C-alpha cells in the first residue's frame, strides 16, 4: 500500500507498507519506506502517514509493524522512537555505493489499538 500526503496540488510526503518482507511473522506488517519533503519536516506529515499506515495494517490483521532505519540516522531514529518504535536487536549490513551501512530493525506492537 502506498499513501501520499498532498497539499495544494504538491506531494509533501508518502509512505509504503505491507506484509513484512524479511523474517516476518504472519501477523507482522512493515513500513517499507517513508519520505517527507525536508521543507515540511516537523509539520506532522510523517506522523500522520505513520498512523495511517498502522491503521491500514491493523485493519488487514497485522499485530505489529517493523521498519528498518540506518544506524547513523539519529534524526530518523528519534522520530520513530517518538512514534512508539523500539529496536528489537535485529540488524543487517547493506552495501550502498561501495559503503557498508548498518540498518537496525525497529518494531511497534499495534494489536492493542
Where are the chain's structural domains? 2-109
pTM for this prediction: 0.88
> Percent of the chain having pLDDT more than 90?
81
- Distance, in Å, from the CA atom of 54 to the CA atom of 100, rounded to the nearest integer, reads 30
Query: Which CATH code for domain 2-109?
Result: 3.40.630.30
Tell me the sheet residues that pair with 86.
Answer: 107
Q: Output the CA–CA distances (angstroms, integers) from residue 104 to 40, 44, 54, in the order listed.
A: 25, 24, 19
pLDDT tens-digit readout, 64-107? 999 999 999 999 999 999 999 999 999 999 998 999 999 999 99
pLDDT, position 25: 62
**CA dihedral angle for residue 68, residue 70, residue 76, residue 80, rounded to 10 degrees:** 30
- Distance, in Å, from the CA atom of 13 to the CA atom of 41, rounded to the nearest integer, reads 10
- Indicate whether 112 pLDDT > 60: no
Amino acid at each position: 500500500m502506498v499513501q501520499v500526503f498532498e497539499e495544494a496540488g504538491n506531494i509533501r510526503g508518502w509512505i509504503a507498507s505491507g506484509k513484512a518482507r524479511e523474517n516476518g511473522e504472519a501477523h507482522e506488517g512493515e513500513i517499507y519506506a517513508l519520505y517527507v519533503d525536508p521543507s515540511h519536516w516537523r509539520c506532522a506529515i510523517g506522523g500522520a502517514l505513520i498512523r495511517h499506515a498502522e491503521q491500514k495494517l491493523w485493519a488487514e490483521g497485522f499485530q505489529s509493524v517493523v521498519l528498518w532505519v540506518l544506524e547513523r540516522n539519529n534524526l530518523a531514529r528519534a522520530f520513530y522512537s517518538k512514534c512508539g518504535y523500539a529496536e528489537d536487536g535485529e540488524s543487517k549490513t547493506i552495501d550502498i555505493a561501495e559503503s557498508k551501512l548498518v540498518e537496525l530493525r525497529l518494531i511497534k506492537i499495534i494489536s492493542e489499538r
